[in-house]
Chains A and B, each alone.
Chain A
Amino acid sequence: MLMCRDLARIASDYIDDELGTAQKLSVKMHLMMCRYCRSFIGNLRASTALMQAHSSQKLDEEFLRRIEERVADSLNARNTGNRNPE
């Protein structure tokens, strides 16, 4: 029989629908009987949604500007090269 700890191990697979039919069924049966695991799954799902709502990896402005400048320089060099072929 599936125990709470087993369910906690495979909770992400359940949320992402990565479990086989038999395992999925045991999780559903367990969830019907265990309010703590229902809460765990609900909270883990909410944490996942939270990650999606959260802006992804924040980057410092300085780093983005460095890339933009390097790209602009390379574009200029290429365009200049195109206008004045050797």
Chain B
Amino acid sequence: METATHQSDEDILIQGLKSGSEADFQKAVRLYTPGMMAVASYYLDKASAEETVQDCWVTVIDAIQNFEGRSGLKTWLHRIVANRAKNHLRKHKREVSADFSEALDPELASRFRPNGRWATPPSLRFHEDAESLMENGALSDCLDQHLARLPETQRSALMLYEAHQHKSDDVCNLLDVSASNLRVLLHRARQKIFLMVETFQETGEC
């Protein structure tokens, strides 16, 4: 994903947003909506998450005037979405259910002997670097499919931590989870990605 790589780029964008530039809003919408959806999807179903993110952008038109830059623009936007999504949850009296019971994915857990050693060890041919692997379009499509199948809670944690590069504390605040629960969500999601890549490399199938 394209990101604002320099602080100065972000400053210029913020100035544009404050001045009400439509082009800068378009740029910001494309840059920050994926992360905002990752936050909203943690709490809400897809339709409500899309509605919440859309409403947030309209709110931002006025709220940006009060943005003082104490946090980055991305973090600020993600917090607005998180607060709105939590309010939506409270109104609808739903609760987020996430499985924090066991750090080990059941499929991976079944690959150990009772004595705790590997019965089916990981394959040993994962040598290419990530950039080279991503050049394989079929693998990239497969990754998309598997990401879509992850529980929202795991996917949101993974997206915010890996793709949007938030720090652990930030993700905990955005998703309202403890540090140890975040570790479980991240680890469960990573194991699923690991198992997917391993199967893909062994069989060529997704």
Answer whether A6 and B116 are a contact pair too, CB < 8 Å, given A48-B190, A78-B20.
yes
Structural contact, A74 and B122, CB atoms closer than 8 A: no
Measured CA separation A17–B141 after assembly (Å): 30
Q: B147–A57 contact, CB under 8 A?
A: yes
Which residues of the partner chain A approach B143 to less than 8 Å between Cβ atoms? 50-51, 54
Q: Is A11 within 8 A of B29, CB to CB?
A: no
Q: Kindly state the separation between the CA atoms of A56 and B140 in the bound complex, as whole angstroms.
A: 11
Contact B163 A54 (CB under 8 A): yes
Asked if B175 is at the interface of the complex by the 8 Å CB criterion, the answer is no
Contacts of A57 in B (CB 8 A): 34, 37-38, 147, 155, 159, 163
Measured CB to CB, the closest approach of chain A to B108, in angstroms, equals: 6
CB pair B104–A75 under 8 Å, yes or no, is no
| Chain B residues whose CB sits within 8 angstroms of the CB of A79 once the complex forms | 20
Q: Please count how many residues in chain B sit with their CB below 8 Å of the partner chain's CB atoms.
A: 59
- Whether A8 and B104, one on each chain, are in contact in the complex, defined by CB atoms closer than 8 angstroms, is yes
Residue of A nearest to B163 (CB): A56
Contact (Cβ within 8 A) B194 A47: yes
Q: Is B177 an interface residue (CB 8 A)?
A: no
Q: Does A83 contact B (CB under 8 A)?
A: no
Q: Does A10 contact B (CB under 8 A)?
A: yes
B interface, CB within 8 angstroms of A:
1, 20, 22, 25-26, 29-30, 33-35, 37-38, 50, 53-54, 57-58, 61-62, 103-104, 108-109, 112, 115-118, 121-124, 126, 128-131, 133-134, 140, 143-144, 147, 155, 158-159, 162-164, 168, 183, 186-187, 190-191, 193-194, 197-198
Task: Other than A10-B103, A13-B187, A75-B20, give 4 A-B pairs with Cβ distance below 8 A.
Answer: A8-B104, A16-B168, A43-B198, A51-B162
What are 22 A-B interface contacts by the 8 Å CB criterion?
A4-B112, A37-B118, A43-B194, A50-B193, A50-B197, A51-B162, A51-B163, A51-B193, A53-B133, A54-B144, A55-B163, A56-B35, A56-B159, A57-B155, A57-B163, A64-B30, A67-B57, A70-B58, A72-B22, A75-B20, A75-B25, A79-B20
